[in-house]
């Protein structure tokens, strides 16, 4: 079976940056399982996996425009301290917030009594990514998975995505 849209694919991967530093790896964990053709993983990696088979090993270099985008200095912002209420704000803390209808992750850079400086760029924005990938398994997606646009682990959906139409 070849990797194509509507297949569920299991891969092991190690992600390194240009300096050869390991940023993330599935090797110590279970393989990553995802629905191909549903933009569950970054475009540059997904495209390279199309047509591959179980046992395929590949090295994929993904430029920022096919990865997590370029850094955008406009996403360095200051948020009034009072918007955080009683919440303790610490450097390095991350939180999610909706901006123009899109869920974004912000990292706290610094804070003082009046404001909190945050960075809305993805931590890997602007990085060229190197994936060392091995295809572990491929199966047909179920009708539910195709409809929801993501895989269902054993026992059902459990995706917790209120927009995913995953509720009976």
Where does this chain bind Zn ion (CB under 5 A)?
A: 148, 157, 159, 166
Shortest distance, position 152 Cβ to Zn ion, whole Å = 6
Q: Decide whether 86 or 163 has the Cβ nearer to Zn ion.
A: 163
Shortest distance, position 61 Cβ to Zn ion, whole Å = 32
**Helix/strand/coil (H/E/C) assignment for every residue in 63-122:** CHHHCCCCCCHHHEEEEEHHHHCCCCCCCCCEEEEEECCEEEEEEEEEECCCEEEEECCC
* Residue 55, beta-bridge partner list: none
Q: Can you tell me the distance from the alpha carbon of 26 to that of 11, in angstroms, rounded to the nearest whole number?
A: 8
Q: Decide whether 138 or 166 has the Cβ nearer to Zn ion.
A: 166
Q: Decide whether 51 or 156 has the Cβ nearer to Zn ion.
A: 156
Q: Decide whether 123 or 156 has the Cβ nearer to Zn ion.
A: 156
Q: Which residues have CB under 8 Å from 17's CB, separation 6+?
A: 23, 127, 128, 129, 130
Q: Decide whether 71 or 152 has the Cβ nearer to Zn ion.
A: 152
Q: Can you tell me the distance from the alpha carbon of 151 to that of 55, in angstroms, rounded to the nearest whole number?
A: 21
Give the other-Cβ count within 10 Å of 32's Cβ: 16
Asked if residue 133 lies in contact with residue 13, where contact means CB atoms within 8 angstroms, the answer is yes
Shortest distance, position 39 Cβ to Zn ion, whole Å = 15
Shortest distance, position 157 Cβ to Zn ion, whole Å = 4
Shortest distance, position 142 Cβ to Zn ion, whole Å = 10
């Amino acid at each position: 079976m070849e990797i194509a849209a509507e297949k569920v694919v299991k891969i092991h991967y190690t992600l390194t940056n240009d300096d050869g530093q390991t940023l993330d790896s599935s090797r110590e964990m279970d393989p990553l399982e995802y629905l191909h053709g549903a933009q569950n993983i970054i475009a540059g990696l997904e495209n390279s996996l199309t047509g591959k088979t179980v046992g395929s090993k590949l090295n994929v270099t993904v430029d920022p425009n096919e990865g997590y985008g370029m850094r955008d200095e406009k996403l360095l912002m200051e948020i009034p301290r009072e918007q955080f209420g009683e919440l303790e704000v610490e450097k390095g803390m991350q939180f999610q917030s909706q901006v123009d209808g899109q869920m974004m992750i912000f990292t706290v850079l610094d804070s003082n009594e009046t404001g909190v400086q945050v960075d809305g760029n993805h931590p890997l924005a602007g990085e060229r990514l190197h994936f060392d990938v091995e295809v572990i398994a491929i199966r047909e997606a179920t009708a539910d998975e195709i409809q929801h646009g993501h895989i269902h682990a054993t026992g059902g959906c459990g995706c917790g995505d209120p927009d995913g139409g995953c509720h009976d």
